[in-house]
A and B are shown apart, each in its own frame.
Chain A
Amino acid sequence: AQKVTQAQTEISVVEKEDVTLDCVYETRDTTYYLFWYKQPPSGELVFLIRRNSFDEQNEISGRYSWNFQKSTSSFNFTITASQVVDSAVYFCALSEPLNQGGKLIFGQGTELSVKP
């Protein structure tokens, strides 16, 4: 069965520190998508990135970067030079194939607190 594990429940850093959020997934499918979503204190879910299982290139978007390693079933998220506005709960998610409904399976989330 598909599963997403975010072992870090809470992380606290001081502004300008780099921080990495871990995500490990399990799936028997050969084709799948992985996602990261941000949930700020206001509660909405904000899409950050999507990665398909065939593309293991790392991606960088400003201060955000993602490291996808299929060999270890991990999709980690790094924030460089963190800012107070990065404080939120971050969810990693795995998408099931269409013939299984296409739903997202979420990890438990990592609550990031960035202190000034």
Chain B
Amino acid sequence: EPEVTQTPSHQVTQMGQEVILRCVPISNHLYFYWYRQILGQKVEFLVSFYNNEISEKSEIFDDQFSVERPDGSNFTLKIRSTKLEDSAMYFCANSGVSWETQYFGPGTRLLVL
């Protein structure tokens, strides 16, 4: 069964450093999402991406965040200058068509020191 993969599974970084989180979606899926979950809290939407552009972004997704599909397969989330409060689990999700089920990757646990 096809699945979403994410790398790395864990990342520790120093405050102010740039991080890139990578996701390999299920092939032929068209809609891509990033969510994050601060430890012990609910899952929060960050950004949706379709047809090589952002469809919607949340208040959390400020100028420090960016997304792209550099090679048509991987889907990346970049945080330019990490803050302590960026420490969270980051999930990639994708769906075939909008309103189909969103399938989630296993997550990247980011720790900013």
Contacts and interface: CB of A to CB of B under 8 A. Distances in A.
Interface of A: 33, 35, 37, 43-47, 50, 91, 93, 95, 97-98, 100-109
A108 to B, nearest CB: 5
Contact of A107 (B42, B89, B99, B103): B42
B45 A47 contact: no
Contacts of B35: 104
Contacts of B93: 104
* Interface SS majority for chain B: strand
Contact of B106 (A44, A50, A103, A109): A44
Contact of B89 (A33, A43, A46): A43
B104 A45 contact: yes
A106 B31 contact: no
Interface of B: 31, 33, 35, 41-45, 48, 55-56, 89, 91, 93, 95, 98-99, 101-107, 109
Contact of A35 (B45, B101, B107): B101
Contact of B42 (A33, A46, A97, A109): A109
B47 to A, nearest CB: 9
Nearest to B9: A43
B33 A103 contact: yes
Contacts of B98: 98, 102
23 contacts: A33-B99, A35-B102, A43-B89, A43-B109, A45-B43, A45-B104, A47-B102, A93-B43, A97-B99, A98-B98, A100-B56, A101-B55, A102-B31, A102-B95, A103-B33, A103-B45, A103-B48, A104-B35, A104-B93, A104-B102, A106-B42, A108-B41, A109-B42
Contacts of B43: 45, 91, 93, 104, 106
